[in-house]
Amino acid sequence: MLIRSVEKFLRQHEMAATKFGRLAAHDPRFVLDLRMGREPRDRTEQRIRGFMAGFEAARDVATTRETAHVG
């Protein structure tokens, strides 16, 4: 289920649900709607999962760069 992945993402990144909605779906109510039972279309779900994966990848790259410059 998408909502489980989103909730985990929000906890890991300490991100507000409305911020996630604005960034990932251009809809600040997106997560609230998911919590209320909204079932997004397949294409929307793919876009949201892609956003989360891209966010993780960008964070990993930034962390790697910071670690490399510390030494």
**Amino acid symbol at 61:** V
pLDDT band at 69 (very low <50, low <70, confident <90, very high): low
pLDDT surpassing 60 at residue 59? yes
At 67 the pLDDT is 74
pLDDT surpassing 70 at residue 70? no
* CB proximity list for 6: less than 8 A, separation 6 or greater: 20, 31, 34, 48, 52
Give the model confidence (pLDDT) of 4-52 as tens digits. Answer: 999 999 999 999 999 999 999 999 999 999 999 999 999 999 999 999 9
